[in-house]
Structure 1
């Protein structure tokens, strides 16, 4: 059996006043078919010792395990009032202000409020605001700061994105992208983030692509990791193919991949295979 225990690191604060937490716990196993076990939400649980939260898993799990704790709230004793308060309660006004500002930016995009630039895609066009684009991307900033055709014509041509992907791209820039749209268009967003030098979007795509590598997408993600210089994603794809032995499950697809991929990437894959097999 596997025991998952959650408790705070002992300090002068937690020794006398342990935190009270609300959270959801998950265990993800990457061996064979990806398996996720979820513990029901735990509310207002006082955590002082390693016996306060014990989750016993009787399901046999092998291979690499990821224990994920999603904190919904965390309360500690306030030094000022002597009462329990959420550590996220501070800055509430700022959070409301940020949320309102993001909602307003989203309306500016969806309702085309005082737009001054048109983005042409192969399937149509979308109106946007050059100030917002310039603030989020140094590439857009350069376009509008110099006497380029984008500045003169007030248009940007993005022929290599679909209409839906471009909408998701702009929604991210304006701060109101939906999670399902982000997941659907991750690769297109990664390409746009690299092209227009939006580092936070590139990192968000990178982190997301690490989460659900499987036999259907591993080769495509390996190619994109190499193309857009994402070392962690590349290493994860290599490990999944070679150390987890998935390369044998997609032998035909892998052979096609080896015929089309960049030579340097092929060389890296062979080095990974040789280095792994040395240990056997």
Structure 2
């Protein structure tokens, strides 16, 4: 790693927030890899649209349908792979009913399997996507959700996030919560005690 002024080989590459000294071949290879990655991520704005329904449909708890392709999902989720290969109802019907996740969250989860990109919104919060990622064993999405949830920890949301970490075996998030507790034990303990008292009130 070096600054632009320190580059002696005549080439300069900026990647992931750092500046690297690199010859022309390395820079060209990097650009090619980025181009290929963007190609792999390129789908319709809505990859699960009416035009390309796929061969499996997820029905969320709001009764809305989300379409996808089994071979894509089977490569990203061990749970879905088992569901599509074992002699289960979902394999026969091509329909997966999900009674505890909304169609918006399912759509975001499935889109992640296509593009490796996730956007946390009011409709698709990190908490719900963490739940979906844990349910279907999508480790990369789960890691992204834990990163998002671990970025803003305070005394007001500590208890809720600790519950999420325990419920969905989110070890990375749990580690960040413990670090926060060590650094802010006084205010966190007071908030936790107040929460406990309020829960015990008749």
TM-score (norm 1): 0.58
Specify the structure having the higher radius of gyration (Cα). Answer: 1
- Residue of structure 2 in register with 1:50 after alignment: none
Question: Could you list the runs of 4 or more consecutive aligned residues of structure 1 that deviate by over 6 angstroms after TM superposition?
Answer: none
- Residues 1:166 and 2:106 aligned together: yes
Q: CA deviation at 1:216?
A: 2.5
Q: CA deviation at 1:161?
A: 0.8
- Residue of structure 1 in register with 2:71 after alignment: 131
- Residues 1:76 and 2:21 aligned together: yes
Deviation readout 1:139-185 (Å, 9 max, x if unpaired): 11111112210011110011111222122111211216443449952
- Residues 1:145 and 2:60 aligned together: no
Q: CA deviation at 1:213?
A: 0.5
CA distance in 1, matches of 2:35, 2:133: 28
More strand by share: 1
Counting only pairs closer than 5 Å after superposition, residues 11-160 of structure 1 correspond to structure 2 as 19-20=2-3, 44=4, 46=6, 71-78=16-23, 89-104=28-43, 107-123=46-62, 124-160=64-100
Higher relative contact order (CA 8 A, sep 6+): 2
- Residue of structure 1 in register with 2:12 after alignment: none
Query: SS in structure 1 opposite 2:48?
Result: helix
Query: Which range is displaced more, 228-237 or 162-171?
Result: 228-237
Query: Which range is displaced more, 172-181 or 145-154?
Result: 172-181
- Residue of structure 2 in register with 1:67 after alignment: none
Query: SS in structure 1 opposite 2:21?
Result: strand
Report if the CA contact (8 A) 2:53-2:67 is conserved.
no
Q: Give 2:194's match in structure 1, choosing from 252, 258, 262.
A: 252
Query: SS in structure 2 opposite 1:93?
Result: helix
- Residue of structure 2 in register with 1:189 after alignment: 129
Query: SS in structure 1 opposite 2:35?
Result: helix
Query: Which range is displaced more, 187-196 or 106-115?
Result: 106-115
Q: Unpaired runs of 5+ in structure 1? A: 1-7, 9-18, 21-43, 48-69, 79-84, 260-280
Query: SS in structure 1 opposite 2:75?
Result: helix
- Residue of structure 1 in register with 2:163 after alignment: 223
Aligned length: 191
CA distance in 1, matches of 2:77, 2:106: 15
